[in-house]
C-alpha cells in the first residue's frame, strides 16, 4: 500500500471496476476532493457494461484512457465507437466538479482569477491566492 492518496485511489478504482479499466496507460490526475465524483462516473459507465448483453463487444467499443483536471473542471479522455445514453449520464456527473472543491470535496466555485482555473472552496481559494501572490 502506498502513502500517496493518488496512487491508492487509482488502485482502488482498478479493483472496483477491473473489467472496464485498461491497465496500460490508465491514469487519474485530480485532487482528492473529486475522488468521489470520479468513482461515481466510472460506476455509471460500469453499470452500462454490466447491463450489456455482449460484454466482449462492449469492451471492444469503449475505453477510458485518463481522468484529469483541465480549466478547473473534471475531464475524461476516452474512446468509444458511439455516443450512448450512459456516457451522457456520466457527463452530468462530471459537471459536479465545477461546484466541488478539488482539494477537499466541500462546495466550491470555479475560480478564474488565479494563474490557473481551479474549482476551490473559500478556504482553499484563500490559500491559492496567497501562493499566487508569492510568485
pLDDT of residue 90: 75
- pLDDT bin (cut points 50, 70, 90) of residue 83 is low
Q: Is the pLDDT of residue 10 over 80?
A: yes
pLDDT of residue 68: 94
Handedness of CA 38, 40, 41, 45 (dihedral sign): positive
Residue that the C-alpha cell 478547473 belongs to: 72
Q: Is residue 35 a contact partner of residue 60, using CB atoms and an 8 Å limit?
A: no
Q: How far apart are CA 23 and CA 37, in angstroms?
A: 21
pLDDT over 90 percentage in the chain: 47
Cell of 82: 458511439
Q: Give the pLDDT mean for 9-23.
A: 88
Tens of pLDDT, residues 50-73: 888 888 888 888 888 889 999 999
Cell of 22: 485498461
Tens of pLDDT, residues 91-108: 888 899 999 999 999 999
What's the domain range around 60?
A: 5-134
Q: Choose among 91, 102, 95, 93: nearest CA to 125.
A: 102
Q: How far apart are CA 17 and CA 77, in angstroms?
A: 17
Q: Is residue 110 a contact partner of residue 73, using CB atoms and an 8 Å limit?
A: yes
Domain total in the chain: 1
Please state whether 54 falls in left (phi above 0), alpha (psi between -120 and 50) or beta: beta
Tens of pLDDT, residues 114-131: 888 999 999 999 999 887
Amino acid at each position: 500500500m502506498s502513502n500517496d492518496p493518488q496512487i491508492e485511489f487509482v488502485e482502488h478504482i482498478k479493483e472496483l471496476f477491473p473489467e472496464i479499466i485498461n491497465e496500460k496507460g490508465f491514469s487519474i490526475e485530480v485532487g482528492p476532493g473529486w475522488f468521489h465524483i470520479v468513482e461515481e462516473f466510472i460506476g455509471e459507465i460500469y453499470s452500462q457494461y454490466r447491463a450489456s448483453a455482449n460484454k466482449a463487444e462492449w469492451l471492444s467499443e469503449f475505453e477510458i484512457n485518463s481522468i484529469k483536471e483541465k480549466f478547473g473542471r473534471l475531464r475524461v479522455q476516452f474512446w468509444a465507437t458511439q455516443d450512448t445514453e450512459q456516457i451522457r449520464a456520466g457527463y452530468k456527473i462530471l459537471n459536479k466538479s465545477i461546484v466541488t472543491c478539488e482539494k477537499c470535496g466541500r462546495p466550491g466555485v470555479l475560480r478564474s482569477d488565479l494563474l490557473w482555473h481551479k474549482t476551490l472552496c473559500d478556504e482553499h481559494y484563500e490559500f491559492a491566492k496567497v501562493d499566487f501572490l508569492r510568485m
